[in-house]
Amino acid sequence: MTLAPTEPSTPDLTGALLRPVRGSRSARRRRLTLVLGLALLLLAVVASLALGSRDIDLGVVWQALVDHQDGAHGQDVVLDQRLPRTLLGLLVGACLAAAGTVMQGITRNPLADPGLLGVNAGASLLVVLAIAYLGVSRPSSFIWFALGGAALATAIVYLVGSFTRDGATPVTLALAGTAVTAGVTSVITLILLSSTRTVNTYRFWSVGSLAGRDGPGHLATTWALAPFLLVGLLLAVLAARQLNLVAMGTDLARGLGVRIGFTRAVCAVAVVLLAGTATALAGPIVFVGLVVPHLVRMLVGPDYRWILAGALLYGPVLLLAADVLGRLLVPRDELEAGLVVAAVGAPVMIAIVRRVRLVQV
């Protein structure tokens, strides 16, 4: 009996040859994504400092930053109004995008955002209570109430989601977050309906804006909250590798040595610190934490370390661009950044949902 000659394993050889090429292309694309993000971020910062109801020449902007002269109106506008506003946009955009990245990773839910853990609802509830019953009226005084409310709501969601046989799973966290948000929203509505003064004060914070929160006092508050932001970012960075393992499934991740409960707790703390502080500073701004991680994932792939790095760049780009666009659309006044982000983010989100649905089909 003769044996037929075996065919050479051409597909395996081809795959082995193409694998390094694909890897190099992926690495190149990731680097280009970060470089593009840095370029867009620089452009957004320049636009935020120069454009508005009154455009300021780039030379005046540069002079204000490197050699400020007292009494020069254009330079005073840059330093006293636009620079604090730009720094706020950088911090809030980066924190919301990072929080959304962590949320989508730990819940394995592509439509998750910081609001899933009740961050916005909890922050809003304590701000409303402070306005209605403590007489708080200044935006700078809302900061600590909003941060405390975000932390409290997230803790409640995590505890409620843990009261199951399997503990705090992505499904139970999502359901608990939805239930807590619905209940808290009802309480907020009841309080607002009973007090016109509360409505008038609350609505300026709830719309989500970088304006009206600037000035030296606000920068002092921002620096006071900086440790919360730094700790949140550190926890998010440390959790990125674990998120890659969790994305492969809970059982497989546990088999690879991931402590699921501990990882979820660390991620929850990171989300509270990042999204809670951002919400406290600028009000509840939607879609940044939802859209940015999706867009970055399309460019860099599924590795959460790269997604997080990209989100830290593209989150501020989106928020600063929305803020500048709001100033230009209504020259004598302005549209709040939260409204512009919602208007731009809604169609993008519809496209993303449609794309995810088509991929699943």
- What are 88-111's pLDDT values in tens digits? 899 999 999 999 999 888 887 777
Average pLDDT estimate for 192-211: 81
Residue 121: half-sphere exposure toward Cβ, Cα within 13 Å: 23
Which pair of tokens denotes residue 336? 């709040």
CA–CA distance, 282 with 278 (Å, rounded to integer): 6
Q: Which of 245-249, 305-309, 337-341 holds the top average pLDDT?
A: 305-309
Q: Distances from the Cα of 100 to the Cαs of 224, 238, 262, 275, 320, in angstroms?
A: 23, 15, 19, 8, 18
pLDDT at 78: 80
Q: What is the mean pLDDT of the chain?
A: 80
Whether residue 323 is predicted with pLDDT greater than 60 in this model: the reply is yes
Torsion of Cα atoms, 263 then 303 then 236 then 267, to 10°: -30
5-14, 31-40, 131-140: least confident range = 5-14
Q: What is the pTM of this model?
A: 0.84
CA–CA distance, 59 with 5 (Å, rounded to integer): 76
Tokens 């503990």 sit at which residue? Answer: 167
Phi, psi of 351, rounded to the nearest 5 degrees = -65, -40
Confidence of residue 151 (pLDDT cuts 50, 70, 90): confident
Which pair of tokens denotes residue 229? 């932001």
C-alpha torsion sign, points 49, 51, 53, 54? positive
Domains and CATH numbers, the chain: 86-208+215-360 (1.10.3470.10)
Rg (CA), the chain: 23
